[in-house]
Amino acid sequence: MFTKIRTTALVFALGLAPALATANPMVGGAPMLVERNIVENALNSADHTTLVAAVQAAGLVDALQGEGPMTVFAPVNAAFEALPAGTVETLLQPENRPMLQRILTSHVVAGNLSGAEIMRRARASSDGFFHMQTLSGAPLSAQVRGGGLWIYDQSGNAGRVTIGDVNQSNGVIHVVDTVLLPR
C-alpha cells in the first residue's frame, strides 16, 4: 500500500498524471482504454460498427484479441460506405469469408508502430515511404504529406490517418478514412 501511495505521489510530483490521463484519444465518442485489447475498444467506438461486424463475420475476433503486438489501420464506417454500393453486404456473406479475411488482414501489421515511428521511417527512406508487410501478405506504404500520415494500399489508394496512436493492451490502432484493399 505504501509503495502504491509513493508511486502515485511521484507521478503527480513529476507532472505525469495529466499526460497519463490523456494518453489515448477518444474514438467514435468513446474512451479507448489502454488496458483493453483491440476488439474490446473497437466495440465501444460508434465510428467502427461496420469494421466490428466485418471482423466478426470474418472470424478474426480471436486473432485481434491475441497477444500481439500488432498495428491496426482501422477504417471508419464512412470509409466502408464509400465503397461501391453492395460491396460491404457482399463481403459479409459467408461464401466471401476468405476475401473478407484478406481485406481485413491487409489492415494489420505485426509490431507496435507509433505514428511518430512510422513518420520517422518514411522520412528516413530514400523514396519517402515506409514500406510495411501486412498479415495478409499485401504491402502497405506510409508517407508524410502535408504534415499528416497517409497510408497507401497495394493499388495506390491513399487513406489519411485521422486519429493516431490509440494504444491497446495488444498493440496500437491508427484510425483511417479509407478501406485499404489488396489486389
76-114 tens-digit pLDDT? 999 999 999 999 999 999 999 999 999 999 999 999 999
Residue 182, CB-side half-sphere exposure with 13 Å CA sphere: 18
How far is residue 46's CA from residue 59's CA, in Å, rounded to a whole number? 21
Whether cis (ω within 30° of 0) applies to the bond prior to 69 is yes
How far is residue 20's CA from residue 171's CA, in Å, rounded to a whole number? 17
Asked whether the beta carbons of 119 and 144 are under 8 A apart, the reply is yes
Q: What is the pLDDT of residue 114?
A: 97
145-180 tens-digit pLDDT? 999 999 999 989 999 999 999 999 999 999 999 999
Cβ contacts of 149 within 8 Å, gap of 6 or more: 115, 118, 119, 122, 142, 143, 160, 161, 164, 174
pTM, rounded to two decimals? 0.86
Number of Cβ within 10 Å of residue 14's Cβ equals 9
How far is residue 61's CA from residue 150's CA, in Å, rounded to a whole number? 26
30-81 tens-digit pLDDT? 889 999 999 999 999 999 999 999 999 999 999 999 999 999 999 999 999 9
CA terminus-to-terminus distance, the chain: 56
Cell output for 121: 521511417
Number of Cβ within 10 Å of residue 123's Cβ equals 12
Tell me the domains of the chain and their CATH numbers.
Answer: 25-176 (2.30.180.10)
Asked whether the beta carbons of 55 and 42 are under 8 A apart, the reply is yes
Number of Cβ within 10 Å of residue 169's Cβ equals 16
Q: What is the pLDDT of residue 15?
A: 40
Nearest one of 50, 112, 108 to 82, comparing CA atoms: 50
How far is residue 81's CA from residue 67's CA, in Å, rounded to a whole number? 31
